[in-house]
Amino acid sequence: MGTAATDYTPQQVIDGRYQEAMKRRDTTWFEVRKITVAFDPNFDEFAASTAYELRTRLYYRHDGGRNARGLVRATGDLATIHKIFATGTPPPSKGTPIRLNAILGRRQDARANMQWVMVIRFNNSEDITFIDGDTYEVTVDPASVAEKMMKTVIHHATLDCPNLPGDPGKRICEMVKIADRLGYPKNWNVLWYYSRENVYEYLNFHNTGDKRRLEMTKATQGKVPFDGDRGYPPTPWRVYPFRQAADECLRRHNQSGDDCQRVVHDILVHTEAEMRQSFDDIHQLRAQAGGAVGLINQTLWTRPEQNLFGSGTAFLKHLVDLLKTNDTLYSVFLTYPD
């Protein structure tokens, strides 16, 4: 089968790549692949076979599967499943088919060659059942896994946000209430905000013309709400903080709950700060535009159409609509304005 090699990319390298993706605020989509892997008492061999079965979905041929073998080991799920089988009474014999569902967390990108796998989850021991005597099956419902992790995120956030100071803390608590009220899958799919970097470039009328704006928004043909990424550098327009927190907690499933709590805290604090600073950026740009046309005293909320020029006008109106729309992350800035 070509699975003799058992070397693999070290976990710290895999983790480092994932952290870089988190810093870039990459969003993730999941796909589930059903595979059958021959059991081997030697975990290295079992992991190599698992990676080989996923070879059509991963970067595999160019490095002989080294990266794939690192990915399947990184979360610890596969090692846990292997240990449960290996210590069973009786343990499966070598070559027994093990049916698994692998949940591949893939970086969301319009370009196929950039949709690389960030993390692979396999299901935990609670989902293991025996069928047909010596055959084992491992099954998982990816939606239930995501829903469970989202509940964990909201639980940690609910405990944490009352301890956060001032209006930022109030806004974060309101975001958490919205996420809880919407429930899964809405809190996974619809709670987003626009990347501060993208907003600033798009509205920077001194340096960004309509041609560049169209390039930045080609995924939606220049129409709001924007999605996809802005081109180069490929920064996604939408940031999904609750989904990000759930993704990261899912990746750390075998680590402590305290570790996950810190992840939730950091992501939501960062979210509020980025959104607030994005509004500060807009006001700064408005002042620059207003200084040129005598509109310094106008506010973004009441007369957005007079703040900037070109196609930025429609986007400003769109942001005002988001502020006035219930159950958006933007709405908390009207509930608790600076």
The tokens of 140 are what? 């998982």
pLDDT for 110: 56
pLDDT for 309: 52
pLDDT for 298: 41
Estimate to the nearest angstrom the gap between the alpha carbon of 254 and the chain centroid.
Answer: 19
Q: What is the pLDDT along the chain (338 residues), one digit of tens a residue?
A: 445 688 898 888 887 777 777 667 676 777 778 889 999 999 999 999 999 999 988 877 778 899 999 999 988 889 988 988 888 888 899 999 998 888 888 776 555 566 788 888 887 433 433 333 333 333 445 566 778 889 889 999 999 999 999 999 999 999 999 999 999 989 998 999 999 999 999 999 888 888 999 999 999 999 999 998 998 888 899 999 999 898 888 776 555 555 788 899 999 999 999 999 999 998 888 777 664 433 223 444 445 545 455 668 889 889 999 999 999 999 999 988 87
pLDDT for 310: 62
pLDDT for 102: 87
Helix (H) or strand (E) holding 78: helix 77-86
pLDDT for 290: 62
The Cα–Cα gap between 167 and 324 comes to: 18
Q: Are 164 and 172 in contact (CB under 8 A)?
A: yes
pLDDT for 58: 85
The Cα–Cα gap between 260 and 250 comes to: 9
pTM above 0.75, yes or no: no
Q: Are 193 and 225 in contact (CB under 8 A)?
A: no
Strands 117-122 and 97-107: antiparallel
**CA geometry: angle 140, 124, 117, nearest 5 deg:** 70
pLDDT for 80: 86
Number of other residues whose CB lies within 10 A of the CB of residue 303: 14
Q: Are 65 and 5 in contact (CB under 8 A)?
A: yes
Query: Nearest to residue 337, comparing CAs of 288, 285, 271, 280?
Result: 280
Environment class of 291 (CB within 10 Å of its CB; exposed 0-12, middle 13-18, buried 19+): exposed
Strands 135-138 and 28-38: unpaired
pLDDT for 257: 52
Q: Which residue's entry shows tokens 């009207």?
A: 334
